[in-house]
């Protein structure tokens, strides 16, 4: 009897505290998590204990938020962090975001391939184009046009893949008796010259156990599809409801076939934010506490913009007044708005509407471990995804609770594996060995 398909899971780690801006102020938080590598190591080991396939650190080459009252959104330096975690873990995959706009492909190719070798084939990379002016200023540059950024991205990835494959797979000899370390005839320059970058190569690094790192990308545009279809095996997405997620995955899988890809080797991971407690009410109180730790005034105003009516903080413990509610509508430019309007119309208080996570950038599941597992099962069995990027609201207990409470339920339902399928990230994802360009 053929076994059920199994979902794959990514645990997103962030700057050490959790997805929610108020996570660092929670009672169980480790205050110095941003700079304390031991915290990240402990969380990574918990994720590995849960047999989660990979850990992800989102990144942008700039300080992207005001840190007067909250920590940075991203880690100090993801490459340094992944190096530390590669030595402290054994099986779990590790990947981070790399900008193709404000980096040089040789440096990126070298760092990632070295990490892939020292981790025994557990590295991936999420290539994205960067459009933030503050990032551009860090490099004394300006943001290229959208067309230029994506042209540059294609060129960048081609150079990186070429450099990754600049050693033939049997070039490393280690022949002590005859004094032959490597065969230089099998280590060749790539001599890539493009419109945006040039690189001679080769790298000074042989293949890893999986050949080379796994490529991911993120987004939902036609340009993203071209990168996904040509180079990537993983796609990071943010649909807000089941119907959109199903359509989104179908479009990307079908689109990738145009590039000669096997759709079963392409994995789509929507982000979700679980807030887990023993009851729905306790989970909502957890969310209320997180909101109190953040900018509630701004959240109330933002909710008003989502439903097209003015709201003030003074109304937070009341339902939206009927005379205002009759003018409310879902902002057509914000895909989160229909859910927000739906909850507002139930008559719950503005505080409780916000506690349901309606203004977060991924679906928030507020409830018990069973509730989280039910949500994940519904999306997975209906073809909305190949797995999920889990973004715990608070890392300190959220990762542990997900591993200890949600994963056993998924395993009991036959939806998640009992152990790693191999030792490399490619084996965890069920995708082929690759070395050099496709």
Q: Please measure the distance between the N-terminal and C-terminal CA atoms of the chain and give it in whole angstroms.
A: 34
Residue 140 zone, left/alpha/beta (φ > 0; ψ -120 to 50; rest): left
- What is the predicted pLDDT for the residue at 438? 61
If we measure between CA atoms, which residue out of 214, 169, 217, 166 comes closest to residue 192? 166
H-assigned helices in 311-413: 322-325, 337-344, 350-355, 369-381, 395-401, 407-412
| Interatomic CA distance for residues 370 and 74, integer angstroms | 30
- What is the rounded distance in angstroms from the CA atom of residue 145 to the CA atom of residue 123? 30
Nearest partner of 209 among 358, 377, 364, 91, judged by Cα: 91
* Peptide bond between residue 202 and the one before it cis (omega within 30 degrees of 0): yes
Write down the pLDDT at residue 1: 44
- The pLDDT score that the predictor gives to residue 436 is 85
Element containing residue 155 per DSSP (H, E): helix 146-164
What is the radius of gyration, based on Cα positions, of the chain? Answer: 23
Q: Specify the pLDDT at position 75.
A: 95
Q: What is the mean pLDDT of each run of 10 residues along the chain (438 residues)?
A: 84 93 92 96 98 97 93 95 98 98 97 98 97 95 96 97 96 97 96 95 96 95 93 95 95 91 95 97 96 93 95 95 92 93 96 96 96 98 98 96 98 98 97 86
Evaluate whether 342 touches 353 at the Cβ level (below 8 Å): no
- Residue owning tokens 């490099």: 139
């Amino acid at each position: 009897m053929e076994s059920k398909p199994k979902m794959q899971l990514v645990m997103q780690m962030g700057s050490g505290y959790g997805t929610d801006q108020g996570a660092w102020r929670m009672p169980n938080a480790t205050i110095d998590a941003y700079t304390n590598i031991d915290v990240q190591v402990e969380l990574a080991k918990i994720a590995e204990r849960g047999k989660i396939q990979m850990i992800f650190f989102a990144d942008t080459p700039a300080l992207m938020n005001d840190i007067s009252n909250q920590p940075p959104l991203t880690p100090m330096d993801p490459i340094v962090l992944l190096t530390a975690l590669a030595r402290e873990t054994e099986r779990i995959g590790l990947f981070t975001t790399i900008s193709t706009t404000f980096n040089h492909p040789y440096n990126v190719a070298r760092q990632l391939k070295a990490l892939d070798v020292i981790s025994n084939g557990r590295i991936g990379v999420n290539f994205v184009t960067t459009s933030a002016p503050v990032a551009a200023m860090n490099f004394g540059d300006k943001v290229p046009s959208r067309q230029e950024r994506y042209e540059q991205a294609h060129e960048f990835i081609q150079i990186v893949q070429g450099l990754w494959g600049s050693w033939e797979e049997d070039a490393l000899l280690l022949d002590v008796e005859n004094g032959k370390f490597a065969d230089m005839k099998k280590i060749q320059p790539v001599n890539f010259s493009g419109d945006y970058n040039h690189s001679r190569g080769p790298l000074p690094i042989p293949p890893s156990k999986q050949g080379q790192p796994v490529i991911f990308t993120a987004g939902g545009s036609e340009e993203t599809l071209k990168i996904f279809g040509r180079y990537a095996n993983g796609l990071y997405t943010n649909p807000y409801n089941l119907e959109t997620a199903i359509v989104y995955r179908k479009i990307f899988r079908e689109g990738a076939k145009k590039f000669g890809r096997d759709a079963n080797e392409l994995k789509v991971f929507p982000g979700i934010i679980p807030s887990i407690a023993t009851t729905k009410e306790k989970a909502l109180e957890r969310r209320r506490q997180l909101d109190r730790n953040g900018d509630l005034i701004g959240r109330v105003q933002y909710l008003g913009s989502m439903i097209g009516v003015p709201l003030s903080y003074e109304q937070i413990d009341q339902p939206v007044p009927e005379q205002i509610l009759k003018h409310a509508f879902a902002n057509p430019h914000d895909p989160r708005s229909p859910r927000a309007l739906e909850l507002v119309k139930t008559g719950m208080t503005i505080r409780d509407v916000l506690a349901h996570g309606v203004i977060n950038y991924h679906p928030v599941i507020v409830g018990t471990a069973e509730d989280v597992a039910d949500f994940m099962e519904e999306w997975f069995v209906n073809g909305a995804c190949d797995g999920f990027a889990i973004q715990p609201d608070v890392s300190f207990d959220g990762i542990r609770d997900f591993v200890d409470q949600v994963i056993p339920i998924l395993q009991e339902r036959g939806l998640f594996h009992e152990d790693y399928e191999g030792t490399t990230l490619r084996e965890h994802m069920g995708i082929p060995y690759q070395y050099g360009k496709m």
